[in-house]
Structure 1
Amino acid sequence: MQWLKNRKESPFSGEVECELDTIGKDSWVNHGYCASPLTIPRAVSTVYNPQTIYPPGSFDHMCKPAPLNPYPAEVKPPDTSTKKKRGGCCSFFKGLWSTTMTKNTADNRELFIKTTLRELLVYMVFLVDLCLLTYGMTSSNAYYYTTAMTDLFVNTPSPSGVQFQSIGCMDDFWTFAQGPLLDGLYWSKWYNNQSLNNGDQSFIYYENLLLGVPRIRQVKVLNNSCTVAKDFRNEISGCYDVYYDKKEDDSNFGLVNGTAWQYHTDKEMNGSSYWGLLATYNGGGYYQDLSKSKDQSTAALNELMNNLWLDRGTRAVFIDFSTYNANINLFCVITLLVEFPATGGAIPSYQIRTVKLIRYISTWDYFIMGCESVFCLFVLYYIVEESLELRIHGFSYFSSIWNTLDVVVILLALIAIIFNVFRTIKVDKLLEKLLEQPDIYADFGFLAFWQTQYNNMNAVNLFFAWIKIFKYISFNKTMTQLSSTLARCAKDIMGFAVMFFIVFFAYAQLGYLLFGTQVQSFSTFVKCIFTQFRIILGDFNFDAIDQANRILGPIYFVTYVFFVFFVLLNMFLAIINDTYSEVKKELSSQKDDLQITDIIKKSYVNTFLKLKLKKEKISDVQKALESGSKELEFKDFRNTLKELGHDDHEITKGFSKFDQDGNHILDQEEQEIMRKELEKKRDDLSAEMNHLGNNIGNGMDEKSAVTLDEPEKPSFTLVEQADFQRLVRKVLQLENTVAAIITKIDTVMKNLMLQKSDMPNTEAMGNNETPVEENVLVHLERETKAKIAPWKSSPTPGTGWPIPNRHM
């Protein structure tokens, strides 16, 4: 016995010690095993390490006892006392933040599915809360509000037919400003010319309050900011370049005695830059605030026009104002921009932002505030979860695209929370200042811009949140087809993309150089790129290309459609299609792993068995009642149930429930109450078992539809009684023959072992000599084959039993 060599008696206590105790204090000894350490093979897994040795920092490493240590003696045993102290904390963390990355689920498919389903359930609650927040900040009324303001200030023409979108020069701008703009800003009468009686306030469309006063601002460039060719210097005295920050004019001009003629920086105006069609303009410039009345505003505009406020150096004019609709609690911040390029003429554009800046007014708003609180708790929850996963897996955590997506969602959520607080504080201060000074310009442009970006960020975050669902449904083969296809063909697509974009950008350069001066969709290189994507989708204007260049235009179009649409695009689709076919074929040939339906079926079966056990316990109690007399003592009741396998706690608890007087005796009335309640519980359990059994029977296939009380048995086809008896006799004869052969083999092997000790070594024998053992074994093999040969046959169809070749 080898294990006896590894044990010795302690000279002090007489206890058995392990041999490794004498090695040193730094050695690790498993006191439950005293033989030589076993070699544990490492299994290779592409997801997690399937061994029971967990990475440092994981929950299992902190909270579970250490397994058998197959490593050198430097690894010390864990401190069980420390684990015991923090076991409650670890259990709490494990239950609250247990994920597939914090638990070792590589070798336990059922645990993996259950953990994933738990993650999915928690995440679905988070996703519903995020949807409520996102849609709670928007309103369908915002579209109609924007449409109303657009029709009034953009599409309404002047008596001469000039509307904002048709502005083509400075004269058209003044016509619009003195006509449709002032008419739209100041509403003082009803449609029957009766006064609105709103004092100095203006209610646009009778419902929308004009906040503060409108502002008109312009930016200019310096004279001689560009270089005139030598041949034209005598004829051209001034040169005004396109707009750049460094070429902006900041000198006073004109009347010099007002804000319209004096330059103000963006800091002085609390302004911000604006991205126009031609350039990005600074937040400073020359501005004129209009008044609360239409007459004063008309006089201010006439003064600007008469004193040539707009000149050759003007590059952009902004008209900014804000309105508020209390009916729907929405702000509308409007910016009308007219750009005057260096080529002459005018290019109008506008931006209308309808936003909700005052958040909490109605009951729905306060419900959204509660959802925001829940959202903050979820963000905190996921921060802790991702921190734990990052602590366990280190930088390998970022090797998964889903983990990176988790970090992106959390970061966007944190930015949303911070901006939400900032926006609320900023709006309160701005409204407070506006109420104190109603005649000033209400600058809601900054808040409207960032509120729009905030809404855009929430939209992107919600998109990523929906995409993240694929992370939790990837345990199903069907759900992994998309990700598997894209992952497998990624290299092919990357190689194809290089070839595709070489051809694509070559055609984009060609189109820009051929048609850029005449066709708007080819006027810039960026527009050329989007135009070519539109051609792929069938949206193009061939007539414009043909008119721009009657020879190269058709050649460009035909060759582009042939090479890009017919050749390259179909190659791209072929790569994806072939890869998808391969992935689908492999998935169909793979063995089905444990699925959600299997987990549900198993839970049904477990529930059914528990209900059956409860029913059996009720039957035992009924037997105990029947065995008693008119008065049933606790001792008899206890003895009867103890014989049926019940413990004292259950017996005492059940008896005391019906022993109303506490005398440890059940009289007839108390026994009758117990019988009625037991019958009621028994009927309820029977009904529930029948309902659950029907569900199990409907959900299981033929293979899994077996009796719950007995294990699954193979099916056999019935045979004739005479054939069965004959086959039984043959089987018994075969067993006797095999037993006799085995006895002979044992006898021969014992003799060989005795003779071998007296014989010389077989290695010293000649090459032509055959060992005795080999001759004997060959003889036994031939004898065995001869006796078993009659039994070699094919199974009888439908029975699974063999038919002998001959009768014995």
Structure 2
Amino acid sequence: CILYLLHLNYFTWQCHQVEMMYRLMLCRNYSLPWHVMEGNVYGLWGTTLTENTSDNRELFVRTTLRELLVYLVFLVDILTYGMTSSNTYYYTKVMTDLFVLTPSGNGVTFQSISSMADFWTYAQGPMLDGLYWTKWYNDQSLQNGDHSFIYYENMLLGVPRMRQIKVMNNSCKVHKDFRNEISGCFDVYNEKKEDEVDFGLVNGTAWQYHNEKEIKGSAHWGLLTTYSGGGYYQDLNRTKEESAEILMEMNNNLWLDHGTRAVFIDFSTYNANINLFCVIRLLVEFPATGGAIPSYQIRTVKLIRYITYWDYFIIGCEMVFCLFILYYIVEEILELRIHGFSYFSSIWNTLDVVVILLAIVAIVFNVFRTIKVDKLLGKLLEQPGIYADFEFLAFWQTQYNNMNAVNLFFAWIKVFKYISFNKTMTQLSSTLGRCAKDIMGFAIMFFIVFFAYAQLGYLLFGTEVNSFSTFVKCIFTQFRIILGDFDYDAIERANRVLGPIYFVTYVFFVFFVLLNMFLAIINDTYSEVKEELSSQKDELQITDIIKQSYMKTFMKLKLKKEKISDVQKVLRSGSNKLEFKDFRETLKELGHADHEISEAFSKFDHDGNQILDQEEQERMKRELEEKRVSGLG
């Protein structure tokens, strides 16, 4: 009710201004000029940047409050459709347990693959068993034809695909002392060294190279490097028996060899119960060192958007979201027209533009995704025996979700724009702004020491400790040490002498010295800002506006005494000397605003000592009584 009254007061003020302009125009027999019509448009999109609020604190606060209320509705609308269901986690977990953690007869899981032999054991065991479910647990048929329903609920879309990437022989050089013993040399993967020659049985897609465009593939960022979307691929069949024969043939004819650097297993499932797609990619990398490094990527995404009643409610929220974006686009254009390029001098204005641009991209992607999914599903239903390539859509849906997450974060941070005029709320921004130069200077000193230790750790422990195996890992490991997450035993095993020295000196200089210097800079600046804000003159705050509306409402209902009576009550209860602190606290309890209290007190405090003596109190009493009698109070 209070917020409604505030909005109503603002709207009444705007109507009063328009009415006065029309009366003036009629008295002078003027026609309605363009700038008046334009003013009405500005009223609809009225913000602190379009209104002249520099000399009117009350207008500034009311305009900001109205902006905040509109923005909160926008924020709630984003949250309504921006959240994801917890079902996505459980779906991902179920698929991970089945295809990554399920062991074969001799105990080989996907995560434990360490050689090519282990890969074939997994592919012909847990992978096939996980992909093809055609019977119940009592061997009774599921009666779904050739379709496989994983865990009886998740339909396997199309057929799985296996693809490998190879490098050419003699892609590296063997030292002259070993050329007689070593006839071949297969380098680490590089797209320029990728093998494109047919091999093995020659006939069939598994033995013939296909480039990225031919198979509509895309590059993949693995643990070791980034792989192209081309290679040698083999689509499995819709039945377990036929797929097992294909794998047996590939194994017997040495599909994997010295040149193999990566093998991909791709397939997709759909669960109609929760309307979610699960796009799975299992990757085994075979580095030039030998051995195997498994990794996986399971993307659970919602590609079909509108099925249930809740989904139709979401589409309503999306339409409202589009209207909000249109509203804010017009608002930003108006502000840009008034302020020009100086508009971007404020970080909040730049954030406005970023949120709008990300929202526009989200809207465009929503339309693109809906069209693309319909086309893919239509093709899949016509040819159920082909590979269902949802990798492209799943990737961009994931990026869309990431973008939504970032946009929601910025949207929440933007709330500070509307509450930063309050003294309490400005403490954070003022503190960070004032100590920014000191922090930048300190950061240079900090990172010189930090990167020096990172380089030292990389050279000392990089060959043995996984968390120090790359320079980037060293950087994040050192941040974890600051937070108390570290493996001291691994460091000591890697270097019994320099390991403890590295650890002790790093903790001392970085944690105890530099980190505490950083905190000291912020603490000192915060104390200064807080002291300055406490000594500043009280201005009209948002709480004062709410109190004024509250007071006006109750005064109209005659449930509140007049303001003059409250002040007289304070004077009667006071002593010979009435301090401003006591005067202010008593009136605030009675619902009066800070700026009103300050104005009333300073009017009679002629010597400015923040104390009303007996004479000043008597003068205030006389004037209040005159106002009460005259009815001006």
Query: Do Structure 1 and Structure 2 share a fold, with TM-score over 0.5?
Result: yes
Counterpart mapping for 1:193-342 below 5 A: 193-342=139-288
Check conservation: 2:212, 2:218, Cα contact below 8 A.
yes
Instruction: Output the amino acid matched with 1:706.
Output: I
Match of 1:126 in 2: 74
1:570 and 2:516 aligned: yes
1:391-540 mapped onto 2 (5 Å cutoff): 391-540=337-486
AA of the residue aligned to 2:125 = G
Which one of 548, 554, 558 corresponds to residue 689 of structure 1?
Answer: 558
Secondary structure of residue in 2 paired with 1:322 = strand
Write the mapping of 1:711-790 to structure 2, written as runs, cut at 5 A: 715=571
Give the SS at the match of 1:287. strand
Alignment deviations for residues 432-480 of structure 1 (CA, whole Å, 9 cap, x no partner): 0000000000000110010011001000000000000000001110011
Using the TM superposition, give the Cα deviation of residue 228 of structure 1 relative to its aligned residue in structure 2, in angstroms: 1.1
Name the structure, 1 or 2, with higher relative contact order (CA <8 Å, separation 6+).
2
Alpha-carbon distance in structure 1 between the residues aligned to 2:537 and 2:470: 55
Deviating more after overlay: 167-176 vs 383-392: 383-392
Would the aligned equivalents of 1:63 and 1:83 in 2 still touch at CA under 8 Å? no
- Quote the residue 2:119 is aligned against: 173
The change in CA–CA distance for 1:717 and 1:555 in structure 2 (over 3 A counts) is closer
Given candidates 564, 570, 583, the residue that maps to 1:706 is 564
Paired position in structure 2 for 1:751: none
Query: How many Å apart are 1:601 and its aligned residue?
Result: 3.2
Aligned residue identity for 1:128: V
Deviation of the 1:395 alpha carbon:
1.1
Distance 1:121 1:520 in 2: 51
Q: Which residue of 2 aligns with 1:112?
A: 60
Q: State the partner residue of 1:159.
A: 105
Root-mean-square deviation (CA, aligned residues, Å) is 2.4
Counterparts of 2:236 and 2:574, CA distance in 1:
103
Report the residue type matching 2:426 in the other structure: T
CA deviations over 1:619-644 (Å, ceiling 9, x no partner)? xxxxxxxxxxxxxxxxxxxxxxxxxx
Q: Kindly provide the amino acid, as one letter, of the partner of residue 588 in structure 1.
A: S
Do the aligned partners of residues 83 and 90 (structure 1) sit closer, same or farther apart at CA in structure 2, a change above 3 Å counting?
Answer: farther
Deviation, structure 1 residue 608: 5.6
Give the match for residue 35 of structure 1. Answer: none
Q: CA deviation at 1:229?
A: 1.2
Unaligned runs of 5+ in 2: 1-17, 22-27, 576-612, 620-633
CA contact (8 A) 1:63 1:87 kept: no
| 1:663-678 → structure 2 map (5 Å cutoff) | none
Q: Residue 328 and residue 713 in structure 1: after superposition, are their counterparts in 2 closer, same or farther (change >3 A)? A: closer
Please state how far the C-alpha of 1:591 moved relative to its aligned partner: 1.4
CA positional deviation for 1:188: 1.3
5 Å-filtered alignment, 1:31-50, equals none
Which one-letter code corresponds to 1:84 in the other structure? L
Aligned mates of 1:420, 1:83 — CA distance in 2: 47
Secondary structure (helix, strand or coil) at the match of 1:168 reads coil
Q: Percent identity?
A: 76
Shift of 1:595: 1.5
1:598 and 2:540 are equivalent in the alignment:
no
Report the CA distance between 1:322 and its aligned residue: 0.3
Tell whether the 8 Å contact from 2:88 to 2:301 is kept in structure 1 after alignment.
yes
**3-state DSSP of counterpart to 1:477:** coil
Q: Which residue of 2 aligns with 1:378?
A: 324
1:172/1:713 CA distance change after superposition, 3 Å: closer
Q: Give the drift of 1:85.
A: 3.5
Deviations 1:639-658 (A, max 9, x none): xxxxxxxxxxxxxxxxxxxx
Give the SS at the match of 1:331.
strand
For the residues of structure 2 that align with 1:368 and 1:712, how far apart are their CA atoms?
57
Question: CA separation in 2, counterparts of 1:705 and 1:596?
Answer: 20
Using a 3 Å threshold, how does the CA distance of structure 1 residues 490 and 717 change in structure 2: closer, same or farther?
closer
- Displacement of 1:597 in angstroms is 2.8
Separation in 2, partners of 1:796, 1:598: 30
| AA at the equivalent of 1:173 | F
Distance in 2 separating the partners of 1:466 and 1:472: 11
Check the 8 A contact 1:63/1:91 in 2, yes or no: no
Provide the rounded CA distance (Å) in 1 between the counterparts of 2:77 and 2:571: 53
SS class of match (1:84): coil
Counterpart residue number, 2:496: 550
Deviations 1:120-175 (A, max 9, x none): 0010010000001101xx21111111111111111100001111000000000000
Query: Is the Cα–Cα contact under 8 Å of residues 221 and 315 in structure 1 kept in the other structure?
Result: yes
How far off its partner does 1:598 sit? 2.2
Unaligned runs of 5+ in 1: 1-61, 66-79, 612-687, 698-703, 720-794, 802-808
Aligned match of 2:506 in 560, 581, 591? 560
Alignment partner of 2:67: what SS? helix
What CA distance in whole angstroms lies between the structure 2 residues aligned with 1:717 and 1:143?
Answer: 65
CA shift, 1:413, in A, is 0.4
User: C-alpha separation between the residues in 2 aligned to 1:225 and 1:323?
Assistant: 39
1:266 match: secondary structure: coil
Cα distance in 1, alignment partners of residues 532 and 154 from structure 2: 63
Instruction: Name the CA distance, whole Å, in 2 between partners of 1:536 and 1:145.
Output: 35
Contact 1:716/1:798 (CA < 8 Å) preserved in 2?
A: no
Q: Which amino acid is the alignment partner of residue 261 of structure 2?
A: R
Offset, 1:798: 9.8
Matched, 1:347 2:293: yes
Kept in 1, the 8 Å contact 2:218–2:229? The answer is yes
Deviation of the 1:104 alpha carbon? 1.2
1:84 to partner: Cα distance: 1.8
Alpha-carbon shift at residue 401 of structure 1 (Å) = 0.5
CA contact (8 A) 2:88 2:276 kept: yes
**1:194–1:104: structure 2 CA closer, same or farther, 3 Å change rule?**
same
Aligned to 2:43: 95
Q: Which has the larger radius of gyration?
A: 1
Letter in 1 for 2:41: F
Tell me the secondary structure at the aligned position of residue 115 of structure 1: helix
Which amino acid counterpart does residue 457 of structure 2 have in structure 1?
G
Kindly state the Cα deviation for residue 604 of structure 1 after the two structures are TM-superposed.
4.0
Aligned 8 A contact 1:718 1:799 in 2: no
Secondary structure in structure 1 of the residue aligned to 2:49: coil
Asked if structure 1 preserves the Cα contact closer than 8 Å seen for 2:571 and 2:617, the reply is no
> Runs of 4 or more off by more than 3 Å in structure 1?
62-65, 80-83, 604-609, 711-719, 795-801
State the Cα distance separating 1:706 from its structure 2 match: 2.7
Q: Equivalent residue of 2:280, what SS?
A: strand
Give the structure 2 partner of residue 74 of structure 1.
none
SS of 1:166's equivalent?
coil
**Structure 1 counterpart of 2:604:** none
Deviation, structure 1 residue 94: 2.0
Q: Describe how 1:77-96 pairs up with structure 2 within 5 A.
A: 84-86=32-34, 89-96=37-44
